[in-house]
Structure 1
Amino acid sequence: MTQGDDWRLFRGDRVARQTEFPEAPPWRQFGNGAGTRARHRPYLIGPTEADVVSAALHLRRPLLVTGHPGTGKSSLAHAIAHELSLGPVLQWPVNSRSVLKDALYGYDAIGRLRETHLRQERGGPEPDIGTFVRLGPLGTALVPRDRPRMLLVDELDKGDVDLPNDLLTVFEEGEFDIPELARLPEEQSEVSVLTHGPGSKRVAVTQGLVRCREFPVVVITSNGERDFPPAFMRRCVRLDLPDPDEARLRDIVAAHLGDEALSGIDDLLYAFLNARAPGELATDQLLNAVFLRMGGVNLDAEGLLDAVLHRLGGAV
């Protein structure tokens, strides 16, 4: 554990040093850079909330997870995928420009046209259209498999108002068409296309139709910025994650940083609880403060605690 001023990696004195960086917090470790993923992060959830998740799994319905920022909505998808051995999570981060087609597939028509012209000039055959088609995260989740994939649709409420309704047909039917492939002649009815995600593989698509065998495990998160249409809500199982109380916060700190992290953090915990209003502070901010305290950082220094526990609703 560092003591005194040793924790200051940057001193602002304009002196160049060969600084040895300390180990990063567990939740900020990203593997060895060679394709190995960081270890699974612990996730704590109550039995009532876990039962709601199980209900969505039994019903093969999307799980709509609501709650304030920092309550672990997105992390829940990774926890489910880990516990059920569903492989890497397919992620679709939604923003104001998101459209359903981008989540289903992409077609590089310009790239195909250029490649066709090049091959014609060289007297070669036309390029395979499948080279220019890549399934998106939702499209990849609907590829037929014996076991479902995990799909995280993150912050759906940031998308266009019509996006939830656009998703209804895909969620109900478990399938979608790729028109560019459906128009191909019969002798080219089966096309191999790329999938989404690291280490993406090719899958065969017949007559332009992608239809799931097992409906994917879908977790949709929302910060409650707006309401969704009743027809969409009726087809989801809803889970509202509450802000963790003091006991749950202590459990979260111990799960991420070990039981030794609970020693001498009462002042940080109470400062967090006293400063927290609904949606104003996230749990990972408390973890950041405890991690710094464990490293010998004086969080009572003027301005430092406020910087770590900065209110999410405040001005930048």
Structure 2
Amino acid sequence: MSHSPVPPPVTVLGLGPMGQALAAAFLGAGHPTTVWNRTAGKAADLVVRGAVLAGTAAEAVAASPLVVVCVLDHDAVHAILGPAAGELAGRTLVNLTAVAPDRARATAAWAADLGADYLDGAIMVPTTLIGGPSSLVLYSGPGSVYERHRPALACLGGTAVHLGADPGRAAAHDVALLDLFWSTMSGIVHAFALASAEDISASDLAPYSKGIVSLLPDIIDEFADKIDRGDHSPDGSDLLSAATAMEHIIHTARGHGLDTGVLTAAHAVARRAVDAGRGSSSFALLAETIGGRPA
């Protein structure tokens, strides 16, 4: 009788909501899974499902050839792994902690000095989607290392994308996409505050807000093409009209005593390009203005 091979062991360091979801996905795919967290009680449900709770981070690292860390930030990664550094040689460290690109590169160099392979990853979905078809995780680091562990990482579900050998590339995608998300979220709450100041309920504004958001996918594609080609011809409206619209919003918001810091900063960038004689250009030009290139 033939038996299917047992999937290789995996260690998960950090058992916040995302770490627990990652460990559960590995367990669900049959990987012997060792877990560790500074608060041991967070492992209880995973232990019931078959995970092994290590007594120390070093014991957890020593238990598996593939070590996945997902904690709060860069400092927490090194606070946890520092005492376990002696166990990392010959293993692969996959850092799924949200970090800045330069810190991902620094951690990759640190791991290499210890004799460990390194992949950096950016999780682009909430915990509830981990292990399912809608999951999306971006990875960067040596292609050979990614290919070696791709079957194990695949159990995190959905789509996995390897972005190249630069260990900071996944984090670079992450921060850029989070920039888009949180800038948009800031605009949403400011719009609701402005509407409320004019006695418009959030529920009344919401359907029209969704109409505005529905325009964004086409705008993203159009702007991406323009920016990559360096084409800043106007696209139905121009920077001067955009800056003028921003002024109306700022005037109204200030009249109600609302904080206008975010939009004032955005208006200043647009106004800088207009004052440089580029008022007839596309709003996409501001990607260059923000980058410090001459308007």
Question: Which has more helix, going by share of residues?
Answer: 2
Bin the TM-score by the shorter chain: under 0.3
Q: Indicate the structure whose relative CO is greater, using CA pairs within 8 Å and at least 6 residues apart.
A: 1
